[in-house]
Structure 1
Protein backbone atom coordinates (compact mmCIF):
# COMPACT_ATOMS: atom_id res chain seq x y z
CA UNK A 1 0.00 0.00 0.00
CA UNK A 2 1.20 3.49 -0.85
CA UNK A 3 -0.82 6.39 0.53
CA UNK A 4 -0.41 10.14 0.14
CA UNK A 5 -2.34 12.14 2.76
CA UNK A 6 -2.86 15.60 1.35
CA UNK A 7 -3.43 18.66 3.56
CA UNK A 8 -5.19 21.20 1.35
CA UNK A 9 -4.71 23.98 3.94
CA UNK A 10 -0.91 23.74 3.81
CA UNK A 11 -0.67 22.33 0.27
CA UNK A 12 1.57 19.55 1.68
CA UNK A 13 1.30 15.80 2.05
CA UNK A 14 2.40 12.95 4.30
CA UNK A 15 3.51 9.70 2.65
CA UNK A 16 2.81 6.25 4.11
CA UNK A 17 3.78 2.85 2.68
CA UNK A 18 3.23 -0.62 4.14
CA UNK A 19 2.71 -4.25 3.16
CA UNK A 20 -0.68 -4.73 4.81
CA UNK A 21 -3.54 -2.66 6.27
CA UNK A 22 -6.85 -3.49 7.92
CA UNK A 23 -9.52 -0.84 8.45
CA UNK A 24 -12.29 -0.72 11.03
CA UNK A 25 -15.03 1.60 9.73
CA UNK A 26 -12.37 3.81 8.08
CA UNK A 27 -11.66 5.30 11.52
CA UNK A 28 -9.11 2.90 13.00
CA UNK A 29 -6.33 1.23 10.98
CA UNK A 30 -3.98 -1.63 11.83
CA UNK A 31 -0.93 -1.34 9.54
CA UNK A 32 1.84 -3.95 9.24
CA UNK A 33 5.02 -4.78 7.37
CA UNK A 34 7.84 -2.50 6.20
CA UNK A 35 6.08 0.68 7.29
CA UNK A 36 7.58 3.97 6.16
CA UNK A 37 6.03 7.35 6.95
CA UNK A 38 7.44 10.70 5.82
CA UNK A 39 5.91 14.05 6.74
CA UNK A 40 6.38 17.41 4.96
CA UNK A 41 8.91 18.61 7.57
CA UNK A 42 11.29 15.79 6.62
CA UNK A 43 10.72 13.38 9.51
CA UNK A 44 10.98 9.75 8.43
CA UNK A 45 9.56 6.89 10.51
CA UNK A 46 10.26 3.16 10.03
CA UNK A 47 8.63 0.29 11.94
CA UNK A 48 6.92 -3.09 11.41
CA UNK A 49 3.52 -2.40 12.96
CA UNK A 50 1.48 0.67 13.83
CA UNK A 51 -2.07 1.63 14.74
CA UNK A 52 -3.68 4.76 13.31
CA UNK A 53 -6.66 6.29 15.13
CA UNK A 54 -8.11 8.82 12.69
CA UNK A 55 -10.80 9.99 15.11
CA UNK A 56 -8.17 11.15 17.62
CA UNK A 57 -5.58 11.93 14.91
CA UNK A 58 -2.81 9.83 16.44
CA UNK A 59 -0.58 6.87 15.66
CA UNK A 60 0.95 4.46 18.17
CA UNK A 61 2.65 1.11 18.68
CA UNK A 62 4.77 -0.82 21.17
CA UNK A 63 7.29 -2.04 18.59
CA UNK A 64 10.84 -0.99 17.76
CA UNK A 65 10.61 2.25 15.76
CA UNK A 66 13.23 4.47 14.12
CA UNK A 67 12.70 8.16 13.43
CA UNK A 68 15.17 10.28 11.50
CA UNK A 69 15.26 13.67 9.84
CA UNK A 70 17.25 15.52 7.20
CA UNK A 71 19.54 17.05 9.88
CA UNK A 72 21.10 13.64 10.60
CA UNK A 73 19.28 12.94 13.85
CA UNK A 74 18.36 9.27 14.27
CA UNK A 75 16.24 8.13 17.22
CA UNK A 76 15.51 4.52 18.17
CA UNK A 77 12.39 3.82 20.27
CA UNK A 78 12.77 0.32 21.70
CA UNK A 79 9.27 0.17 23.24
CA UNK A 80 7.28 2.08 20.66
CA UNK A 81 5.86 5.47 19.86
CA UNK A 82 2.85 7.72 20.41
CA UNK A 83 2.49 10.60 17.98
CA UNK A 84 0.09 12.93 16.26
CA UNK A 85 -0.77 11.63 12.80
CA UNK A 86 1.27 14.44 11.20
CA UNK A 87 4.33 13.56 13.38
CA UNK A 88 4.48 17.10 14.78
CA UNK A 89 4.15 15.79 18.36
CA UNK A 90 6.10 12.62 19.10
CA UNK A 91 6.61 10.62 22.28
CA UNK A 92 9.20 7.85 22.04
CA UNK A 93 9.39 5.06 24.61
CA UNK A 94 12.84 3.94 25.85
CA UNK A 95 14.92 5.89 23.34
CA UNK A 96 18.50 6.09 22.19
CA UNK A 97 19.88 8.04 19.29
CA UNK A 98 22.52 9.74 17.23
CA UNK A 99 22.93 13.51 17.01
CA UNK A 100 25.38 15.14 14.58
CA UNK A 101 27.93 17.53 16.07
CA UNK A 102 29.27 20.34 13.93
Structure 2
Protein backbone atom coordinates (compact mmCIF):
# COMPACT_ATOMS: atom_id res chain seq x y z
CA UNK A 1 0.00 0.00 0.00
CA UNK A 2 1.12 3.55 -0.69
CA UNK A 3 -0.41 6.53 1.07
CA UNK A 4 0.01 10.30 0.75
CA UNK A 5 -1.25 12.59 3.51
CA UNK A 6 -3.09 9.64 5.04
CA UNK A 7 -5.01 8.84 1.84
CA UNK A 8 -4.52 5.55 0.00
CA UNK A 9 -3.06 6.25 -3.45
CA UNK A 10 -2.43 2.72 -4.69
CA UNK A 11 -2.40 -0.90 -3.62
CA UNK A 12 -0.21 -3.53 -5.30
CA UNK A 13 -0.55 -7.29 -5.04
CA UNK A 14 2.21 -9.46 -6.51
CA UNK A 15 3.47 -12.94 -5.58
CA UNK A 16 7.11 -11.81 -5.97
CA UNK A 17 8.80 -8.41 -6.16
CA UNK A 18 12.50 -8.11 -7.00
CA UNK A 19 13.96 -4.72 -6.10
CA UNK A 20 17.24 -3.45 -7.49
CA UNK A 21 18.98 -0.08 -7.21
CA UNK A 22 17.28 1.63 -10.17
CA UNK A 23 14.42 -0.68 -11.06
CA UNK A 24 11.89 -3.15 -9.68
CA UNK A 25 10.61 -6.27 -11.44
CA UNK A 26 7.35 -8.10 -10.86
CA UNK A 27 8.31 -11.37 -12.65
CA UNK A 28 4.99 -13.09 -11.97
CA UNK A 29 2.85 -10.06 -12.65
CA UNK A 30 0.74 -7.83 -10.47
CA UNK A 31 -2.69 -6.50 -9.69
CA UNK A 32 -2.63 -2.74 -9.11
CA UNK A 33 -5.45 -0.57 -7.76
CA UNK A 34 -4.95 3.18 -8.23
CA UNK A 35 -7.08 5.49 -6.12
CA UNK A 36 -7.39 9.03 -7.42
CA UNK A 37 -10.71 10.74 -8.03
CA UNK A 38 -11.68 7.45 -9.68
CA UNK A 39 -10.45 3.90 -9.19
CA UNK A 40 -8.33 2.26 -11.88
CA UNK A 41 -7.36 -1.42 -11.92
CA UNK A 42 -4.39 -2.82 -13.86
CA UNK A 43 -3.47 -6.48 -14.18
CA UNK A 44 -0.47 -7.90 -16.09
CA UNK A 45 1.79 -10.97 -16.26
CA UNK A 46 5.12 -9.07 -16.01
CA UNK A 47 6.12 -5.53 -15.02
CA UNK A 48 9.38 -3.59 -14.81
CA UNK A 49 9.35 -0.30 -12.93
CA UNK A 50 12.22 2.13 -13.52
CA UNK A 51 12.66 4.53 -10.62
CA UNK A 52 8.91 4.19 -9.91
CA UNK A 53 8.17 6.64 -12.74
CA UNK A 54 8.31 4.58 -15.93
CA UNK A 55 6.75 1.14 -16.33
CA UNK A 56 7.18 -1.51 -19.01
CA UNK A 57 4.17 -3.83 -18.73
CA UNK A 58 3.75 -7.10 -20.64
CA UNK A 59 1.44 -10.09 -20.97
CA UNK A 60 -2.34 -10.24 -20.79
CA UNK A 61 -2.73 -6.60 -19.72
CA UNK A 62 -6.14 -5.49 -18.54
CA UNK A 63 -6.91 -1.95 -17.44
CA UNK A 64 -10.34 -1.01 -16.09
CA UNK A 65 -11.57 2.21 -14.57
CA UNK A 66 -14.65 3.10 -12.57
CA UNK A 67 -16.12 5.03 -15.51
CA UNK A 68 -16.57 1.87 -17.57
CA UNK A 69 -13.47 1.85 -19.79
CA UNK A 70 -11.72 -1.47 -20.37
CA UNK A 71 -8.41 -1.79 -22.23
CA UNK A 72 -6.74 -5.06 -23.24
CA UNK A 73 -3.33 -5.50 -24.89
CA UNK A 74 -0.09 -7.51 -24.64
CA UNK A 75 2.41 -4.71 -24.03
CA UNK A 76 2.21 -1.14 -22.85
CA UNK A 77 4.46 1.59 -21.46
CA UNK A 78 3.32 3.93 -18.68
CA UNK A 79 5.09 7.22 -17.98
CA UNK A 80 3.80 8.37 -14.59
CA UNK A 81 5.52 11.78 -14.79
CA UNK A 82 3.81 12.60 -18.09
CA UNK A 83 0.62 10.71 -17.03
CA UNK A 84 0.65 8.89 -20.36
CA UNK A 85 0.34 5.30 -21.59
CA UNK A 86 1.39 4.16 -25.05
CA UNK A 87 2.35 1.21 -27.24
CA UNK A 88 2.68 0.16 -30.86
CA UNK A 89 0.76 -3.11 -30.44
CA UNK A 90 -2.78 -4.27 -31.08
CA UNK A 91 -5.04 -2.81 -28.38
CA UNK A 92 -8.75 -3.29 -27.73
CA UNK A 93 -10.79 -0.71 -25.83
CA UNK A 94 -14.40 -1.05 -24.83
CA UNK A 95 -16.79 1.15 -22.92
CA UNK A 96 -19.89 0.43 -20.84
CA UNK A 97 -22.07 1.97 -23.62
CA UNK A 98 -21.18 -0.93 -25.95
CA UNK A 99 -18.46 0.79 -27.96
CA UNK A 100 -15.61 -1.55 -28.92
CA UNK A 101 -12.54 -0.20 -30.73
CA UNK A 102 -9.53 -2.09 -32.09
CA UNK A 103 -6.27 -0.18 -32.58
CA UNK A 104 -4.07 -2.27 -34.88
CA UNK A 105 -0.98 -0.05 -34.53
CA UNK A 106 -1.25 0.96 -30.90
CA UNK A 107 -2.47 3.64 -28.58
CA UNK A 108 -1.45 6.90 -26.92
CA UNK A 109 -3.59 7.97 -23.99
CA UNK A 110 -3.67 9.84 -20.73
CA UNK A 111 -3.27 7.37 -17.88
CA UNK A 112 -6.84 8.07 -16.75
CA UNK A 113 -8.07 7.15 -20.30
CA UNK A 114 -9.82 10.53 -20.72
CA UNK A 115 -7.79 11.41 -23.85
CA UNK A 116 -7.14 8.53 -26.26
CA UNK A 117 -5.47 8.38 -29.68
CA UNK A 118 -5.89 5.04 -31.46
CA UNK A 119 -3.75 4.17 -34.47
CA UNK A 120 -5.34 2.38 -37.47
CA UNK A 121 -8.70 1.66 -35.82
CA UNK A 122 -11.81 -0.34 -36.50
CA UNK A 123 -14.69 -1.15 -34.24
CA UNK A 124 -18.32 -1.08 -33.21
CA UNK A 125 -20.03 2.09 -32.06
CA UNK A 126 -23.34 2.12 -30.22
CA UNK A 127 -26.02 4.36 -31.70
Q: What's the TM-score, normalizing by structure 2?
A: 0.75
Segments of 5+ residues of structure 1 without an aligned counterpart are none
Residues of 1 paired with 2:44 and 2:122: CA distance?
Answer: 25
Residues of 1 paired with 2:88 and 2:66: CA distance?
Answer: 24
> Which of 117, 121, 126 is residue 91 of structure 1 equivalent to?
117
Higher relative contact order (CA 8 A, sep 6+): 1
Secondary structure at the aligned position of 2:71 is classed as: strand
Segments of 5+ residues of structure 2 without an aligned counterpart are 1-29
Secondary structure at the aligned position of 1:88 is classed as: coil
Residues of 2 paired with 1:70 and 1:6: CA distance?
Answer: 20
Q: Compare CA radii of gyration and give the structure with the larger one.
A: 2
